[in-house]
Amino acid sequence: MSALTVHDLTKAFGATRVLTGVSLHVPQGGFTALLGPSGCGKTTLLRLIAGFDDPDSGTVLLGDRVVAGAGRGVPARRRGIGFVPQEGGLFPHLTVAENVTFGLPRRRRRDRARVAGLLDLVGLDAGLADRAPHQLSGGQQQRVALARALAPEPSLVLLDEPFSSLDAALREETRAAVAAALSAAGATAVLVTHDQAEALSMADQVAVLRGGRLVQLTDPRTLYRLPGDLDVATFVGEAVVLDAEVRDGRAHCALGVLPLGRDCPDGRARVLLRPEQLRLSAPEPTAPSARVRGIDFYGHDSRVWLDLPGGLAVSARLEGADLPAEGDDVSIAVLGTALPFPSGPRPARQDDRPPPRPVADVHLESPVAAPAGPAAG
């Protein structure tokens, strides 16, 4: 396996600029997720790395070998890159074993022990080797596609939204198996996804693209806790974003007076809280209050719609069996610090059912917890 280095990559299709000066480094054995909404350029970047398209400028290196740019371009078939497409791309007329060994030299295609080892690596039974692709589930097909990509021992493995066609339960099971297989193989890997949970749970580092530019490249925890801007913050997870007035290092907002997690000049700002910082309890006279407007029950958790005084509506996620009832009054306490950002346009909402009033998205863990103490600094 080799490290991947992309430097100042640009690409346009006609008058449409798709990538602008993208640079990133994936260390040998590292796993990087390219995360962003549709049309941000992540699939184009993957295709340039794979050699399916040529960049207008910039370079792509595998280890210390330039494979694109600088006046040279190595064909895709000679780059030593394994590729896993969205639908797996298995040949329907070949068996599982024949699919796995398709890219190997002829003398190695009859190595049943190699096939069994690769199937075991991706969490599949060797007994599936003689089956046809249509006899497998969608998740099994994606694992076979990964086994095929790993068979030639490539320098790099690229995965283009490989779990997007799977249902939720199968997607989670398959991506766990794929992540384990890549780790066991010591593979350098790049995953394209628009699924925030997928990127945060699988990758060592996440590259967030927006409008053809790389806006943040960091490890998942830093991305979640210290997003570069509010658009990144709301894209990588549920968030509470509130208008605030900053005075003497504290934010005065609809959820009370909150300490800040970094310096911010006095004046108008917007502050970010993550869902798990909020707690609900029985009404307290001195705590911010809300009234339950409605509940969407999902089984493992629930979305609770809350109305704050002044017309702000809050979408809350509650875990556990104890839920408030519609019409209940509750108090909200905030743990930890708020992250301030310059006041500007509101970020696009992520909710699937926008309420009729301005909202902030909130994930709350317990509606009946004991009243929390003052916010921690």
What is the C-alpha to C-alpha distance for residues 215 and 212, in angstroms, rounded to an integer?
9
Share of the chain above pLDDT 90, in %: 39
Q: Please tell me the predicted confidence (pLDDT) of residue 375.
A: 37
Q: Please tell me the predicted confidence (pLDDT) of residue 279.
A: 80
Encode pLDDT of 113-148 as tens digits: 888 888 888 888 888 888 999 998 888 888 888 888
What is the C-alpha to C-alpha distance for residues 377 and 374, in angstroms, rounded to an integer?
9
Amino acid code (one letter) for 32: T
Mean pLDDT for the stretch of residues 210-230? 94
Out of 3.40.50.720, 3.40.50.300, 2.40.50.140, 1.10.760.10, the CATH code matching 237-361 is 2.40.50.140
Please tell me the CATH superfamily of domain 4-225, with its number: P-loop containing nucleotide triphosphate hydrolases (3.40.50.300)
Nearest CA to 189 out of 154, 223, 217 is that of 154
Domain assignments of the chain as residue spans, ordered by start: 4-225, 237-361
Has residue 251 got a pLDDT over 80? yes
List C-alpha distances in Å: 127 to 31, 112, 116, 222, 300: 30, 11, 8, 43, 35
Pairing label, strands 256-259, 267-273: unpaired
Mean pLDDT for the stretch of residues 265-290? 88
CB 79 within 8 A of CB 51: yes
Cβ count near 37 (within 10 Å): 13
Q: Please tell me the predicted confidence (pLDDT) of residue 36.
A: 92
Has residue 178 got a pLDDT over 90? no
What is the C-alpha to C-alpha distance for residues 332 and 311, in angstroms, rounded to an integer?
16
Has residue 32 got a pLDDT over 80? yes
Banded model confidence at residue 323, pLDDT cuts 50, 70, 90: confident
Mean pLDDT for the stretch of residues 273-277? 83
Encode pLDDT of 283-311 as tens digits: 988 888 988 888 888 888 777 787 888 88
Banded model confidence at residue 227, pLDDT cuts 50, 70, 90: very high
Has residue 226 got a pLDDT over 90? yes
